[in-house]
Structure 1
Amino acid sequence: MSTASESRGGDAPTRAVVVDDSRFMRTLIRKLLEDGGVEVVGEAEDGSVALDAVIEHDPDVVTMDIEMPSMNGIEAVERIMADHPTPVLMLSAHAEADADVTFEALDRGAVDFVKKPGGEVTSSMPKVRHELVEKVESAAKVDLSASARASASASTATTSRTASTETSRSTASTTSPSPSGSASRSPTRDSAAKPSSGDTRTGARSGAMRQPDAAGASGRTYADVGTLLVGASTGGPKIVEQLIAGLPRDANLRILVVQHMPEGFTSRFATRLDERSEYDFGEAESGERIGPGEGRVAPGGRHLLVTGDRGDRLRLELTETEQIHGVRPAIDLTMASAAESAAQPLCAVLLTGMGRDGVDGMQRIARAGGHTIAQDEATSAIFGMPRRAIETGCVDAVESAGDVAETALRYFTEEE
């Protein structure tokens, strides 16, 4: 599906509708966008009238406030996506307070979010304008039909994995004795708790294999330890969540996720990954070491580096050096450092997003002997980063959103 701006001509300015209950904020956002070359074609003071404004003006993108009387931003997103699908960019005022509701808006169909401008005019306003305009321009390029295909692809893959797992477990229960003991559990988990990463046996760095236990019963053997790197930008959070949810704990991975996301939201994103997967996820901390069964998300505003790999544990460092490709954290830096410091097996995945962050990192992973996967065009909200990586010739596999996890696992397993 082509975007509205493409149908009007590639040189036409991006057209936006601004939704906010504050007249002052609508005026400020309009000025920031128009100063950045975006044409504001309409406004709405409440979520209840946002759909009317969208239908009337047929914009390329909608900027949406979260907290509004009568109808909030989440409900407005649902109505727009149901009746007149248009890319919606959420404006979130307070990182900690709005993180949960912002991610809920993404679940309902919003394509991205950005921190809402403050009411005061300060010396940082040019930076605020740049970030807002960049996010609006990026959101306007999102292919909503690709996002729908990504969800369908993930749903199909999940159904297939579930059926396969149930079959394997049924077979294992009739051929394998019950384990005499149970794996240790994290004290913060309930009855569906995840095994602690401390239960993983240390293996040789050559990629020695071990048999999964009957409870896992995947029909595969896995390397004692492996490293998976995931990079994503616009349209990425839902795809990352689907990918991580498709990885079994007995694959023994150390997982690093770099999602372009503002400071204050990455902690909540890490919590969502922890809740939706068999891996213990958190926001990365400088100086920590993580082992098999653990994952970390690069914090917003800081680069994440791998500085060592000893005893099956990756050592992580955070830096606040200059932005790369206009972003921090940068996918390139994490992948490049892992290519230098992390032992094989190693796999890097580059998902949806605009620009070229991650392209150099994917090339470095390939040169180091690791494997690389790019999301395909059909399921990428924005095919910018994956396309540029594919064009370099360094990509081993191009997969739909729902197939990325399965393909990645092949690089860490040996079929029996």
Structure 2
Amino acid sequence: MKVIHVRSAEMGFSDQQAVLFATVVGTGVTVCLWDKETKRGGMCHYSLPVANADSNTAYIAKDYGSEAIVALIRKFKQCGSQLQNIQARVLGGGDLQYGESMSDLQIGRSNVAIAVCTLAEFDILVLGQSVGGAIGRQVHFNAVSGEVCFKAIHRDDFSDSLLRQQPAQHQVAKKRQIKVLVIDPSIRMRNLLQAAIEQDDDLTVIAQASNIKAARAVIESQAVDVITLDLDSGDPQWLALIDSYMQSYQTPMLIITSLQQHGLEVVFKALSLGVFGYIDKSSLIEVQAKLKAAHQSKEYLQQTLSLAREQQGEQKSFTVPYQNSALVLLGASTGGVDALEVVLRQLPAATPPICIVQHIPQDYSGLLAKRLNEVCAVTVCEAADGVEVLNDHVYIAKGGRHLKVLQLGPKKLVLRLTDEEPNNGFKPSIDVLFESAKKVEGWNRVAVVLTGMGCDGAQGLLELKRHGAFTIVQNEASSVVYGMAKVATEMGAVCRTTSITGISAAIIEALASGAKQSKQTDTDIDTAKAHVN
């Protein structure tokens, strides 16, 4: 029987010929495909998971699983094989330390992930696998019988020649800690995303998936830190996947969307299920910072999902003691959709007016108001220009417009929507709302800054405090991103700091006491919780 050695970046294929393919893999992976009907067999061997823009020759490209596996499958199809007749075996992906950089990359796991994902996309059955572990593997594949066998090779037995087979750029790869799964039906979009993501040395794309089956295969077999997901198709199965995996794996997800009108409700539903956030496909410059923030949010995500389960169907029976002419102002950004729901769910129907700025695109604010109105006792609506501010109502700033409050008399406030330039990069802007509220006289004002990136709201909070308002911020431990609240704290704009579950109690206490300003810096308002229970 003829023996063909398949080295890294090479592929072997046999059409009904007596051939034995042989290779040795360490962190690299070999995929053996066999057509059980035609007795065709093929093997590919690659060293890295996903090809990038530098993979500009056919030889280099085949040293990446995303290219090598597809090329081998294509060879089978060109010879007339049907995908349902092809069986696969995956071997390799060892945890071998060729040097600190190789170990840090966890390249073996990434190589296995791309194999599992790609085969799932083509509906090819994985009949068996031997992956991981601190070993290499000497693999033999009989292309006629389909039999695969291997011998374990311990790290100390590997020869220097095997190490020299790895391309030089593999040895100088930079440390990447955050493992990302990219899910998008378009291969062009997946590659654009990967290129944008991997410009940051802390981020690495371990696999790409174009459909639900492939995504499930990766999530269930590999350690994924963050997931990017395209929802523009509007397929409800994706929402089922999000709901299921948020509860089971609690892996932060970031939606990549074109923000088309028909998909708005699907994206917003995903946000309500606990998805970290979203990015417009035209603004991929934000993807690196958002992925890092999402990765840091896992502990917060676990707390939020647990709290959401506890609050499901829960009704509050307490009342808010406050005098007439009271006004509550809230600002939120990244992570704010969930945070706002936690706060508003704890408030009764009878409350003073609440004005909210959540950093959100145009057309999403109406969906946010609708969602909150459905799950909260208080009436929630999207803000409209010229509307009088009334008790028992929550007003959500309209996306793409600034929200202001204007005093027309001692007891009368109205809302104004303006089309001025973005402030702090946002429209609506929290600072714009807060700056307008500092001019209100004779009203007990309570202002709150919740989770979010950047500094929007910090200066406005300081101005409100200087003009007699009581100011509150969400603490770092319960924030998805401790940005705006941190800046406000450093500026001296904060009267109190508390967790997301203590915000509503803090508001209640401030309203009840009519406090104008405080020098307290306690972290939780234990005494205020008595009003909630």
Normalization by structure 2: what TM-score?
0.57
The verdict on how the C-alpha distance between 1:342 and 1:296 changes in structure 2, with shifts beyond 3 A counting, is farther
In structure 2, relative to structure 1, the CA distance for the partners of 1:291 and 1:82 (3 Å cut) is closer
Structure 1 letter corresponding to 2:262: A
Q: Quick check: 1:17 aligned with 2:192?
A: no
1:231 deviates by 0.8
Residues 12/226 of structure 1: CA separation in 2 closer, same or farther (3 Å cut) = farther
SS for the counterpart of 1:228 is strand
How do 1:198-277 and structure 2 match up within 5 A?
218=319, 221-251=321-351, 253-277=352-376
Residue in structure 2 matched with residue 292 of structure 1 by the alignment: 391
Q: Is the 8 A contact 1:308 1:315 kept in 2?
A: yes
> 1:266: Cα distance to partner?
0.7
CA contact (8 A) 1:258 1:329 kept: yes
Which region of structure 1 is more displaced relative to structure 2, 398-407 or 386-395? 386-395
Deviation at 1:57, TM superposition (A): 6.2
Matching residue's letter, 1:302: R
User: Is the aligned partner of 1:130 residue 2:285?
Assistant: yes
DSSP-derived class of the 1:374 partner: strand
Q: How far apart are residue 230 of structure 1 and its match?
A: 0.8
Aligned mate of 1:401, from 494, 500, 504: 500
CA separation of 1:374 and 1:160: change in aligned 2, threshold 3 A = farther
- Greater CA drift, 378-387 or 331-340: 378-387
- The amino acid of 1:336's aligned partner reads E
- The Cα offsets for residues 269-326 of structure 1, whole Å up to 9 and x where unpaired, read as 0112222334333222233322222221112222212232535332222233332232
Give the equivalent residue in structure 2 for 1:86.
Answer: 251
Deviation larger for 147-156 or 363-372: 147-156
* 1:180 aligned residue: none
Q: Which residue of 2 aligns with 1:47?
A: 212
Alignment length (residue pairs):
343
TM-superposed deviation, 1:19? 0.3
Among residues 412, 435, 440, which one is paired with 1:341 in the alignment?
440
Q: Deviations over 1:80-137 (max 9, x none)?
A: 434443220112344543233223222333111233x2xxxxxxx5xx2334455444
Q: What's the CA shift for 1:60?
A: 4.2
Larger RCO: Structure 1 or Structure 2 (Cα < 8 Å, ≥ 6 residues apart)? 1
Q: Measure how far apart 1:350 and its partner are.
A: 0.9
CA positional deviation for 1:153: 5.5
More helix by share: 1
SS in 2 for 1:395: coil
Instruction: Give the alignment partner of residue 106 of structure 1, picking from 258, 266, 271.
Output: 271
**In 2, Cα distance between the equivalents of 1:229 and 1:147?**
25
1:256 CA drift (Å): 0.8
Gaps of 5+ in 2: 1-103, 106-173, 515-530
CA contact (8 A) 1:150 1:401 kept: no
Provide the rounded CA distance (Å) in 1 between the counterparts of 2:312 and 2:214: 37
Deviations 1:325-360 (A, max 9, x none): 322211111112111236421011111112211111
Q: Is the 8 A contact 2:304 2:338 kept in 1?
A: no
1:21–1:45 CA contact under 8 A, matched in 2 = yes
Higher Cα radius of gyration: 2
Distance 1:346 1:297, change over 3 A: same
Query: Compared with structure 1, are the counterparts of its residues 149 and 337 closer, same or farther at alpha carbon in structure 2 (3 Å cutoff)?
Result: same
Q: 1:66 aligns with which of 231, 248, 258?
A: 231
Instruction: Report 1:287-366 matches (<5 A).
Output: 287-310=386-409, 312-341=411-440, 343-366=442-465
Aligned to 2:294: 139
Structure 1's 338 and 154: CA in aligned 2 closer, same or farther, altered over 3 A? farther
C-alpha contact (below 8 Å) 1:344/1:370 kept by paired residues? no
Identity of aligned residues (%): 27
Instruction: Work out the CA distance in 2 between the residues paired with 1:245 and 1:26.
Output: 38
Preserved CA contact (<8 Å) 1:158 1:246: no
Q: Distance in 2 between matches of 1:60 and 1:67?
A: 23
What displacement does 1:227 show? 0.8
* Distance in 2 of aligned mates of 1:34 and 1:133: 8
Is the CA contact 1:47–1:70 (under 8 Å) kept in the aligned structure 2? no
Which of 13, 19, 30 is 2:194 aligned to?
30
Q: Give 3-state SS (helix, strand or coil) of 1:90's partner.
A: strand
1:246 CA drift (Å): 2.1
Contact residue 233 and residue 263 of structure 2 kept, 8 A:
no
Q: What value does the CA root-mean-square deviation take over the aligned residues? A: 3.3
Q: Which has the higher strand share?
A: 2
The alignment partner of 2:436 has SS state of helix
**Distance in 2 (alpha carbons) for counterparts of 1:105 and 1:309:** 40
Counterpart contact for 1:372–1:395, Cα < 8 Å = yes
User: Deviations 1:138-174 (Å, cap 9, x if unpaired)?
Assistant: 4333x22123324555777899974x64xxxxxxxxx
Farther off after superposition, 356-365 or 405-414: 405-414
2:241 corresponds to 1:76: yes
Q: Is the 8 A contact 2:349 2:379 kept in 1?
A: no
The correspondence for 2:483, drawn from 384, 388, 397, is: 384
SS of match in other structure, 1:114: strand
Per mean C-alpha deviation after superposition, the further-off stretch among 27-36 and 57-66 is: 27-36
- Sort the Cα spacing of 1:310 and 1:274 in 2 relative to 1 into closer, same or farther, 3 A: farther
